[in-house]
Chains A and B, each alone.
Chain A
């Protein structure tokens, strides 16, 4: 069975500081990995995904995540955050043809 652990429930940071949101997964087979973002009172939006190939994946708004198979991790990073990055971030795992299994989420709070 697959599972996802997001190691931090809340991450407060100041604007323009770097941030890392940690995610570890458990699976006995090859998986696909995702980060979704949820802004207040909205649905989930895909931020980035790892399917195969390069282990470093990037989003259009400056986030990146690196797939580390040996450590079964898929941490999300951004070198400099903005107030507008304040949201809930979910790490998720799936196998081909199955549903996404989500972590509990990490609340990123960016203040000035």
Chain B
């Protein structure tokens, strides 16, 4: 158990629908990062939150949004789903201060299948 909890583990939904993925970071970590992993694209950074505030954006589609709540858990919302959104979605968290060797800890992911 990495300490980063992602739910659900699997999600099957139809095109055009909306889903919410949830992430609870490791205890004490303030940063949450969302990544998308598909077979041909590797691990693509989507968005980062730090202590409730958006800190960085990567290749996140406008149909996708995220937020981090006061208890530091984060949700990734995917709407108007398309077949191409099928992928593994990972959440990671990192230590609150620079200079540590914790690194980024990843959850076990949510496998999204859009049919």
A binds B: no
Q: Which residue numbers of A lie inside 8 Å of B, CB to CB?
A: none
Q: B: which residues have CB within 8 A of A? A: none
